Amino acid sequence: MKLISWNVNGIRAILNKGFMGAFNKLDADIFALQETKCQVGQVELDLPGYYQFWHQADKKGYSGTAVFSKVEPINVRRSGIDFFDDNEGRILELEFDDFYFVNCYTPNSKRDLSRIPFRVDWEARMREYLSGLAKTKPVIYTGDLNVAHKEIDLANPDTNHKSAGFTDEERENFTFLLEAGFTDTFREKYPDKTDIYTWWSYITRARERNVGWRIDYFVVSNDIKDKIIDAAIHDDIMGSDHCPVELKIEI
């Protein structure tokens, strides 16, 4: 099974930047989007062979997630995920016969770090929720998780220890998730690979210079980590300030 996740930073904008070409080339069994920034009726995608599921934010032009799947899920949850009244369209969960697929656009801690307390609480509750799902069947958790876990995961770690996405609190909570029984699939396959990122600031031509961060993930519960075939980061695909990430897994 081939899975793709991509923060598109606005589905309507990226449709004019080669999205359908990339979508068809990647040919995923399940394709997850974050930051769709659209409401129902604002965009219609012709995706033959795919079931489409969207979760919009109440606020127009903000946040939002979507999942396109070749296999019809047995259940879909868009809001009210136990701990979070999701009016920002941040979580979209699909249940299949053999696993849960949870697509997430994690809240940013903000430039002034004013949202760190909320973020820490979010991470604790999300970890508890995912652990609960994993007691029933395996979990695949994906999305823009808004954290670079280790120094290897961003170009300039020394100058970013107090930046949103690389604070001690955020990194520690990603460690807690892994310790709770989950695996970062890319690092499982490529523990020492450097200079590979999934997001670049639009400022100062960061992508051209590859001054980036790895903040987009596929994380799986440990009971299926031995089924990981490969993980990839498609940093050659443009159109957003993020690039698609991939997981191949036998499940």
220 membership: H or E segment, kind and range: strand 216-221
Spatial distance between the Cα atoms of 54 and 39, rounded to a whole number of angstroms: 9
Please report, rounded to a whole number, the percentage of residues in the chain having pLDDT higher than 70: 97
12 membership: H or E segment, kind and range: helix 11-14
Q: Are 219 and 142 in contact (CB under 8 A)?
A: yes
Q: Are 237 and 31 in contact (CB under 8 A)?
A: no
Q: Is the pLDDT of residue 82 over 80?
A: no
**Residue 177: both structure tokens together:** 């998730």
Of 69-73, 171-175, 180-184, 201-205, give the lowest mean pLDDT range. 201-205
Query: If DSSP codes are grouped into helix, strand and coil, which group holds residue 233?
Result: strand
* pLDDT for the residue numbered 41: 85
Q: Is the dihedral of CA 104, 105, 107, 109 positive or negative?
A: positive
Section 90-119 average pLDDT: 96
What band does 86 get if pLDDT is binned at 50, 70 and 90?
confident
The model's pTM is: 0.97
Residues annotated as catalytic are 105, 144
Mean pLDDT over the full length of the chain? 95
CA-nearest of 26, 5, 69 to 245 is 5
* pLDDT for the residue numbered 242: 98
Q: Are 156 and 211 in contact (CB under 8 A)?
A: yes
